[in-house]
Amino acid sequence: MKMRHKWLAVLALVFGLGLALTGCGGDQTASAPPIQTNIPDGEPDSEVWGKEFPLQYQSYMENNDDKIETKFAGSKPVPKVDQQPLLNELFKGMAFAKEYNEDRGHTFAIEDVTHIKRIDEKSPSSCWNCKSPDVPLLVEKEGVAFFKVPFSKRKDQITHSIGCANCHDAKTLELKVTNKNFIDSAARLNIDLKHATKQEMRTYVCAQCHNEYYFKPDTKEVVNPWDKGKNPEEIVSYYNEKGFKDWVHPDSKTPMIKAQHPDYEMFSSGMHGQNGVSCADCHMPYQRDGDKKKFSSHHWQSPIKTPETIEASCRTCHREKSTDELKDRVLYTQVKTYDMLLKAQQATHDAHQAVKKALENPAHNKDMIKKAQDLIRKAQFEWDFVSAESSMGFHNPQLALESLGKSIDDARQAQLLAVQAISAPVAMK
């Protein structure tokens, strides 16, 4: 009997040790030997990195060959207005009405930014931000002065598309944030990047570019508007306090804000983000080559593209569901979000037109129109916060639907105020 208890104790110890070594959410590489490479510091050419890390580089190059589309995104630079005709109305008077396409892969960043019609002779170097590992080197050399230089003057200096040096230390291969605006934001918000865990860094290196930002009017420096918080209302409050606008809508004469791609803001307060899942867990799943060597895929893509990508990403945790069931669940969320998104677009467009009509009446109530314009500014950003984000709501379904619901409500209130501004042309007290 004593011998049996002894063996049970040994088995319990071994089992407990196994859990400690392989448990979910832990830093499973803490005891791995340090890596030393022969790559020069700050080397921007990913092909040079590929000579020492061929498996990762091979998967990185697969970003050039994406052919499979998902229902709401993909790698073909098709105009978004083809599916959402109101976009050009909502962005009337600013660059996104000239050309606004679905994003291609990271390896096309240089080609796409230099050919998009939104970029012209007035565009600053801020528009190069996050497009190349050449940028952090130039920012380190020139400081804030980098951003104000005309975009076109950088074409010979910035030639390498997003790659290894954006996220890794060349000598140790440790994950590294290189984007100035994210580093500055982390410092302001007391996020300690130097002591972040590897799991946290597997989100931060993505978040440094996949975020909401604006250009400071005086210096054109790229800044994250997070000082009041990261949800849409808090960001609008920040912009209002700064008196910032991207453009004035020519119909409603409203000072507007264009959301960029607030993936980090949406994801970080969502279920996966709140439970310690990183961006890389889903978008850079582990793979094995023919010799069973384990490596992290650098083919950044939607996890639901194929049964194989669902298996590698989603079913690592969700083993109780089949690949079809998991894909259907994602699409259910995205379809519901998209339907609400279109309603928010229509409501905001109607509000712009109602204010335009009211402004054409010389006797309109100016105070009411100002309140309507404030609501339109907020409503369009609440819609765009979801529209410009990459997951069609899946990163945070609750926040996505809440934001779109508020957008519709704010837009319809603005529309009502505009109608009342014509029938009650007396200054409000």
Mean pLDDT, rounded, for 134-139? 97
Choose the most confident range, by mean pLDDT, from 35-39, 104-108, 216-220: 216-220
What confidence category does residue 20 fall into, taking pLDDT thresholds of 50, 70 and 90? Answer: very low
CA distance 202 to 281: 8
* pLDDT tens figures, 26-71: 444 444 566 888 999 999 999 999 999 999 999 999 999 877 777 7
Residue that has been written with the tokens 């907020």 in this structure = 378
What confidence category does residue 260 fall into, taking pLDDT thresholds of 50, 70 and 90? Answer: very high
262, 384 Cβ separation under 8 angstroms: no
* Model pLDDT, residue 33: 64
* Model pLDDT, residue 429: 41
What confidence category does residue 7 fall into, taking pLDDT thresholds of 50, 70 and 90? Answer: very low
Mean pLDDT, rounded, for 155-170? 96
What confidence category does residue 6 fall into, taking pLDDT thresholds of 50, 70 and 90? Answer: very low
Q: What is the largest CA-CA distance in the chain?
A: 98
Specify the pTM: 0.90
Q: Look over the chain and give the mean of its residue pLDDT values, rounded to a whole number.
A: 90
* pLDDT tens figures, 268-303: 999 999 999 999 999 999 998 877 789 999 999 999
What confidence category does residue 426 fall into, taking pLDDT thresholds of 50, 70 and 90? Answer: low
CA distance 368 to 414: 9
Query: Structure tokens of 296?
Result: 């992290």
The DSSP-derived string for 326-366 is: HHHHHHHHHHHHHHHHHHHHHHHHHHHHHHHHHHTSTT--H
CA distance 70 to 60: 20
* Model pLDDT, residue 22: 35
* Model pLDDT, residue 171: 92
* Model pLDDT, residue 50: 96
What confidence category does residue 425 fall into, taking pLDDT thresholds of 50, 70 and 90? Answer: low
